Amino acid sequence: MPDWAREVRARLSSLTLSPEREAEIVDELAQHLDDRWRELIAGGASPDDATRLTLADFRQRDVLARRMATLRQAHPPASVTPGVATGRLLGDLRHDLRYATRTMAARPGFTAVAVLSLALSIGADTAIFSLWNGVLHASLPAVREPDQLVMLSNPDESGSWTGRTQGPRSWLTYGEFEQLRDHAEGFSAIMASQSSLNTWQVRFEGGDWEEARGRLVSGGFFQALGVAPAIGRLFTAADDRTDTPDAVISHDYWKRRFGGRFDVLGKTLTVRKAVLTIIGVAPPGFIGETSGQRPDLWLPLRMQPSVLPGSDRLHDTPPEKTMWLHVFGRLTPGVTPAQAEAQANAVFRAGLESFYGGIATPERRRELLDQRLQIGPAGRGASPTRHEFSQSLTALLAGVAVLLLIACANLANLLLARGAVRTPEMALRLSLGASRGRLIRQLVTESLALAAIGGAAAIAVAYGLHGALVRMLAESDPRFHMSFSADPLVLAFNLPATVCAALLFGVLPAWQATRADAATSLKEQSRGGSGTFGRLRSAGLLVSLQLALSLPLLVGAGLLARTVYNLLRADLGFPAERLLLVRVNLRDAGYEGARRDSVLRELVGEVRRIPGVQAASFSQLGVFSGGESSATIEVEGYAPKADGRQSALDVIGPGYFSTLGVPMRVGREILESDSGDATNVCAINEAFAKRFFDHRNPIGMRITLVNDDNRTSYQVVGVAKNARTHSLRGDVEPRFFVPAKQPYASASPTLLIRTAAGTQPVLAAVRKGIQGVDAAVPIMSATSIEERMAPLTAQDRATAQLAVVFGAVALALAAIGLYGVLSYGIARRTGEIAIRIALGAQRGRVISMILRETSGLVAVGLALGGGMAYMASRLIGSRLYGVAPQDPLTLTLATGLLLMVAFSAAGVPAMRASRVDPMTALRQS
Amino acid sequence: MDARALDRELKKGSAELLILSLLAARARHGYELNKVIHARSRGQLRFHIDSLYPLLYRLEERGWIKGVWVEKPGERRRTARPGAATKDVGRIRGGRTARHGRRTCLTGREKCARGCRR
């Protein structure tokens, strides 16, 4: 029997099949020929004939090869030397990625560290960026064409003000809104919303009372924002004309509270004195016109008297106005904001003229008419927190960016060390014909793959962190709420951050790793030689950079920590403990006029009798309540300067100063005997005395409160020490205090209760006491001074905590980096050190040699870092309290800490070097 | 049936269909396949070894059939069976070849075994 395999192989020889494939084909065809031959033999043919006939099945010698040539298997891919330039970019990329996965899988420890540190730092960056973007830049969600929206009020302010005002308006009155809505050209739609968010006790269909947040809005609210209902219907312009008890709820609230059931439409809800019907659900994602808040329900403005009882904010009596509304408009196409502003102001001014028409004196009129509207873009919506949080968020964003840089430097260092291990591999590839550019590309692809995994994980980290950050911010403003959105802008941040990180930590090590001259490197490997100093130099530079970047973080953390320390120990001018603040609403309970005075006296008297209460009084504003009150005054013997006719004011009860614990500098405090028909007296604070009386003795002087044509004079009886009752920051404002009596008796005063021990045990008795006087008096809030002040420092505490965490992480990374570089350097130089020791170098000399080298790195780092710290401290300058941005103590402490950590990190490898046994080390090499 | 006629059919793609339909019934190895074709065409049709195998390999590359080595005592043969992409080969056969249109009549005679005209 002939050798069929040889026959077949000869016919395949012109093809380039892979060896395995060729063997298979040869096998199969040989089998076929064999079968055929056996059949012929069985049919009686002679072996020679059978062989001839069998081979005749192959026609010309090259038919098989020709037919096979068109098959794919005849063209196996050329074998690849990793790193050899093939000129096919995509093919290379696929190859590199496969190689990268293998290298990553081969070193799971390194991969985990790299991915984790990238995920954490990019995640933190993304989370803070997302929040920063959400608070400062993002457009209102779910609103149609937000760029067309403008605001006629101040987007940064929320609240209300009753009285008079001058200059640009923060808020508008209901009457002013109506005039603008009906007469201002230039707007295709215009609407008003309550500038502050209410927290209401509500009840659905006679269920239990529960808390819900919401605001009053005009009929055109939803239409002006361009939204359609998810279900049901929304308010229309008709709601501005009649008092329709309708309510619209948010989509989120619908899902959360009602499980998204459709029978929510038509349900009734009770809010204070009103019973309303739910008519619709706003579209998903819609939060209204204020960024950072999430209302549950919207009610028509016209329902104000019954859902916010106590005052009629829909009608004003000259000259007093209640300003409480934000007004938004959508510009008619073709109208510029400037034109719209001019038109709106013309309508506004006409309104003012008719409102103040009754004021006779031209001077007064001029003063009263000095009001105007400013139009600004409102695509981002109103936000009471934007201004407040912007600096902290920007500082934090800078902080995490620095942290990311440090993490990159650290990874670069790790990769440098790995590069050193891979030098022989690279040298081998270079000598096999790989080009250096191609090798760098491959190494950078590895970095990119690492970063890609880290970046993807970062999104998950960011999601988690975002929630925590929002909770932190919400501590200083409980109404603040913002959900994490994978905004295109946020992703557009995450992606380049990831790629930049990969390039940052990948390129330098790749450059270094492929620098090796093949011959030297291969030789060196076999010799275990002393290492290339170029690589150590760049590693050292990276460590210096890490140290430099850590310094501003440490200084920032230190400054913020001291700020918090100072804020928490700020001298208020009275003891900030054992003080209970209980705000009651007398107007709601139906007390007006003189009855308010008497019920207040009765309440305070009742509270004073409670065991554990040392003293009690009250004031209109309370302490750190966020409310403020000011008045136009004339001071005897004081010539008013340009700004000098206004002063802050509070209406107080007898014993106010002694209850708070504010000492009188001169004279006496307001007493029980000053109420009723007694002479009008008042007390002032030191700031007031300094401002208005300068060096004169204020006692006995007269201060006249000017309220239009109504003038009331008060005689100064005492000067109280400056006390911080309204703001922790800034100077204490000039303030004067008048006793609570007609006509200045507060509708919702705050009882100030000084207790002997803690406030908690007394609270129940106080509630009972108040109920005992009149069960109809609602207690609006009851908090200790500590609870009241916590939100004031919450933002600073949160920022400081984060800064301290960032600083600690930065320091730890820098220490790891330093330790790694020195360990590596010493490992490479064991031979050299061994020779030194063998030649008689003292161990101490070896240690000091290593530490001397460390000093160089640290010195460069500190010099660089000092400059950065200087700039960083200016960034947070205005958030600082009681500490200068260039505070030398903080700078010294931060530097000291950095030095300590740096030398501890250097100490371990230095000790190890000094313990090198020369004999062992030299024998090894 | 001469080799040139078969070559024409190959170009038209009928041979591929023929092989697929035979393999749809059961898996066979190359030599057996050729014998079945030879028998069914009453000796009219026979593949040369240098046409058959390149054709099988092409079908294999397209994923229409799958070659597997089947071990029996004393022998090891590579057998072709329908590949994943030919689950519906039965339907193809049922549709096209059953109507026995001109293009799929492989015998090339004036009047084929089943009576269709050329």
Are A702 and A802 within one domain? no
Mean pLDDT of A636-643: 76
- Is A494 exposed, middle or buried (CB count within 10 Å of its CB: 0-12, 13-18, 19+)? buried
Distance in angstroms (rounded) separating the CA atoms of residues B28 and B38: 14
- Among B49, B54, B76, beta carbon nearest to A32: B49
- CB–CB contact B57 A71 (8 Å): yes
| Cα–Cα distance list, A136 to A385, A393, A396, B5 (Å) | 9, 9, 14, 80
Are A206 and A331 within one domain? yes
3-state secondary structure chain B: CCHHHHHHHHHHCHHHHHHHHHHHHCCEEHHHHHHHHHHHCCCCCCCCHHHHHHHHHHHHHCCCEEEEEEEECCEEEEEEEECHHHCCHHHHHHHHHHHCCHHHCCCCCCECCCCCEC
The DSSP secondary-structure symbol of A292 reads T
- Among A32, A57, A71, beta carbon nearest to B54: A71
Indicate whether A273 pLDDT > 50: yes
- Among B3, B50, B61, beta carbon nearest to A67: B50
Please tell me the predicted confidence (pLDDT) of residue A740.
Answer: 85
B chain contacts of residue A32, beta-carbon cutoff 8 Å:
30-31, 49, 53
For A64, which residue in chain B has the nearest alpha carbon? B50
pLDDT digit string, tens, across residues A417-443: 777 777 778 888 887 777 888 888 888
Distance in angstroms (rounded) separating the CA atoms of residues A171 and A373: 9
The number of residues in chain A equals 925
Distance in angstroms (rounded) separating the CA atoms of residues A628 and A726: 8
Please tell me the predicted confidence (pLDDT) of residue A615.
Answer: 93
pLDDT digit string, tens, across residues A149-160: 999 998 888 888
Q: A129: helix, coil or strand?
A: helix
CB of A21 within 8 A of CB of B19? no
Mean pLDDT of A719-727: 91
For B58, which residue in chain A has the nearest alpha carbon? A71
- CB–CB contact A24 B58 (8 Å): no
- Among A24, A63, A71, beta carbon nearest to B50: A63
Mean pLDDT of A263-272: 91
Distance in angstroms (rounded) separating the CA atoms of residues A656 and A662: 9
- CB–CB contact B49 A33 (8 Å): yes
What six digits make up the tokens of A801? 């905590």
- CB–CB contact A57 B48 (8 Å): yes
Please tell me the predicted confidence (pLDDT) of residue B114.
Answer: 47
pLDDT band at A87 (very low <50, low <70, confident <90, very high): low
User: Which residues, listed in sequence order, are joined to residue A714 by a DSSP beta bridge?
Assistant: A703
Indicate whether A614 pLDDT > 90: yes
What is the radius of gyration, based on Cα positions, of chain A? Answer: 40
Please tell me the predicted confidence (pLDDT) of residue B92.
Answer: 37
A287 and chain B: CB distance < 8 Å anywhere?
no
A720 or A875, greater pLDDT: A720
Query: What's the structural domain count of chain A?
Result: 4
- Among A33, A57, A71, beta carbon nearest to B61: A71
Spatial CB neighbours of A801, under 8 Å, sequence gap ≥ 6: A472
Are A744 and A802 within one domain? no
Please tell me the predicted confidence (pLDDT) of residue B109.
Answer: 41
Going by C-alpha positions, the residue among A732, A734, A728, A733 that lies closest to residue A881 is A728
Are A545 and A640 within one domain? no
Are A630 and A691 within one domain? yes
- Phi/psi class of residue B115: alpha, beta or left (left: φ > 0; alpha: ψ in -120 to 50)? left
Distance in angstroms (rounded) separating the CA atoms of residues B69 and B77: 5
pLDDT band at A803 (very low <50, low <70, confident <90, very high): confident
A709 or A657, greater pLDDT: A657
Mean pLDDT (chain A) is 85
Are A596 and A493 within one domain? no
Are A729 and A803 within one domain? no
pLDDT band at A224 (very low <50, low <70, confident <90, very high): very high
CA distance A91 to chain B (A): 22
Are A848 and A773 within one domain? no
Going by C-alpha positions, the residue among A871, A600, A911 that lies closest to residue A740 is A600
For B47, which residue in chain A has the nearest alpha carbon? A57
- Mutate which of A57, A59, A63, A66 to disrupt the B interface (most B C-beta within 10 Å)? A57
Please tell me the predicted confidence (pLDDT) of residue B6.
Answer: 60
pLDDT digit string, tens, across residues A276-300: 999 999 999 899 999 888 999 999 9
pLDDT band at A522 (very low <50, low <70, confident <90, very high): low
Greatest CA separation for chain B: 47
A24 and chain B: CB distance < 8 Å anywhere?
yes
A258 and chain B: CB distance < 8 Å anywhere?
no
A59 and chain B: CB distance < 8 Å anywhere?
yes
Mean pLDDT of B41-60: 83
Distance in angstroms (rounded) separating the CA atoms of residues A652 and A740: 5
Strands (E), A332-381: 371-372, 376-377
B7 and chain A: CB distance < 8 Å anywhere?
no
A25 and chain B: CB distance < 8 Å anywhere?
yes
A window 34-53, beta carbon within 8 A of B: 35-36
AA identity, residue A508? L
Going by C-alpha positions, the residue among A185, A479, A172 that lies closest to residue A301 is A172
Are A622 and A520 within one domain? no
Are A818 and A768 within one domain? no
Are A182 and A291 within one domain? yes
**Residue A504 sits in which domain range?**
387-568+792-924
Which CATH number is associated with domain B3-104? Answer: 1.10.10.10
Indicate whether A212 pLDDT > 80: yes
A31 and chain B: CB distance < 8 Å anywhere?
yes
Going by C-alpha positions, the residue among A874, A166, A143 that lies closest to residue A555 is A874
What ipTM was assigned to the predicted interfaces of this complex? 0.71
pLDDT band at A630 (very low <50, low <70, confident <90, very high): confident
